[in-house]
């Protein structure tokens, strides 16, 4: 008896997970915002139109992709990769904050029982007035 | 000999696209004589005027104008896209990479400079060896090696400060703030004082 049977396909709805990660990151102390992308803005306006756009832009068989402001989730072979674009508060070390963002996002993905792939973070802005 | 065989032709053998391509030009000698071309030009002129009028109407139709929220969203994306410029990798953790955009780093440097009394930061350019040598990378977003960041900072300073001491303080401040925020140790900080201002 060998385990040559194919593994059942992992069916994951990435939209609720994207919402949870997005909310958690925006609420994280020191994160000023997640930077919007053209894709995430269109997503907010017309989900149906975006679905069509996704189908047009991505060839059949491409991994599922879900976008929110500053957040891109790509599921491939059961492993979820994240790209996160943040603006950080000047009163926190941007690098430390980016590490925390990685940890928060990875923890939430892991809590859903999904394998965490890469969590790449880009600091796009450092803003705010220094605490006096 | 099969070129353009699948395109519609006029009775005289011309491709309709060729007529359309010169619709805004005066008719050629052939087009003046050929009834097919004359008819086609007439029809295409009509088509052009109708589509032009539809375009103009759409441009002025209030129902088709983007709302304030849409405009603001577009501008937010535009500003974010500007910030998605060249990036400097800061660290690779067990989870993935952390990098900073050139715009963010430049803004941080200008901010640090402006905390020095008597200094007003103006422009900041960042140079450095490219990180990695991926020929497929778009030069506009190619990464800069964090171990070789060199900057040129242009400032205006108050006429009431001592320049050498202020420049020393400015270099120290910029280096300290950038190090604290990003862990980058800059290799070179060039400062250009391009203006003096009165208190």
| C-alpha to C-alpha distance for B83 and A125, rounded to whole angstroms | 7
CA dist., res. A39 & res. A100, Å (int): 25
Largest CA distance in chain B: 85
For chain A, list residues with pLDDT below 50: 1-2
Q: Which residue, among A106, A102, A26, A13, has the nearest Cα to A69 in the 3D structure?
A: A26
Residue A102 phi, psi (nearest 5): -60, -45
> What are phi and psi for residue A96, nearest 5 degrees?
-60, -40
- Separation CA A68–CA A84 (nearest Å): 10
Q: Roughly how many angstroms between the first and final C-alpha of chain B, as a whole number? A: 80
Give domain A14-127's CATH architecture. 2-Layer Sandwich (3.30)
CA angle A60, A63, A67 (to 5 degrees): 110
On chain A, the residues whose CB falls within 8 A of the CB of B81 are 37-38
**So what's the pLDDT on residue B133?**
47
ipTM value: 0.80
Give the per-residue pLDDT at B161.
92
pLDDT tens string B43-94: 888 888 888 888 888 888 887 777 777 777 777 777 777 666 788 999 999 9
How is residue B166 written in tokens?
């202020």
- Tell me the per-residue pLDDT of A42-70, one tens digit each, with 9 for 90 and over: 666 655 555 555 555 555 556 678 888 88
- B74 shares contact with chain A (CB less than 8 Å): yes
* Lowest model confidence (mean pLDDT) among B2-16, B63-77, B111-125, B180-194: B2-16
- Domain boundary assignment for chain A: 14-127
CB contact under 8 A, A93 and B115: no
B158 neighbors B169 (Cβ within 8 angstroms): no
A26 at the B interface (CB within 8 A)? Answer: no
């Amino acid at each position: 008896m060998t385990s040559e049977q194919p593994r059942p396909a992992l069916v994951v709805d990435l939209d609720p997970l994207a919402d949870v990660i997005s909310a958690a990151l925006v609420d994280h102390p020191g994160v000023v915002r997640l930077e919007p992308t053209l894709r995430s803005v269109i997503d907010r306006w017309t989900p149906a139109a975006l679905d069509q756009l996704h189908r047009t832009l991505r060839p059949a068989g491409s991994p599922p992709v879900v976008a929110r402001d500053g957040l891109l989730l790509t599921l491939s072979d059961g492993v979820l990769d994240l790209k996160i674009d943040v603006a950080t508060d000047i009163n926190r070390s941007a690098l430390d904050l980016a590490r925390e963002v990685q940890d928060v996002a990875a923890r939430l993905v892991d809590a859903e029982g999904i394998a965490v792939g890469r969590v790449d973070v880009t600091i796009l802005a450092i803003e705010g007035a220094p605490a006096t | 000999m099969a070129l353009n065989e699948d395109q519609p032709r006029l009775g005289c053998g011309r491709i309709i696209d060729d007529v359309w391509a010169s619709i805004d030009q005066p008719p050629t000698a052939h087009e003046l004589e050929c009834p097919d071309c004359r008819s086609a030009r007439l029809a295409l002129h009509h088509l052009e005027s109708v589509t032009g009028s539809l375009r103009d109407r759409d441009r002025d139709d209030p129902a088709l104008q983007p709302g304030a929220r849409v405009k603001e969203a577009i501008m937010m994306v535009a500003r974010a896209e500007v910030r998605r410029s060249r990036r400097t990798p800061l660290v690779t953790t067990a989870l993935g990479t952390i990098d900073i955009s050139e715009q963010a780093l430049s803004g941080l440097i200008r901010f640090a400079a402006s905390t020095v009394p008597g200094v007003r930061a103006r422009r900041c350019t960042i140079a450095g060896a490219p990180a990695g040598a991926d020929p497929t990378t778009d030069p506009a977003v190619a990464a800069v090696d964090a171990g070789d960041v060199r900057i040129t900072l242009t400032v205006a300073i108050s006429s009431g400060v001592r320049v050498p001491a202020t420049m020393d303080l400015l270099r120290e401040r910029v280096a300290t703030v950038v190090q604290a925020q990003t862990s980058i140790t800059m290799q070179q900080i060039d400062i250009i004082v391009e203006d003096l201002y009165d208190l």
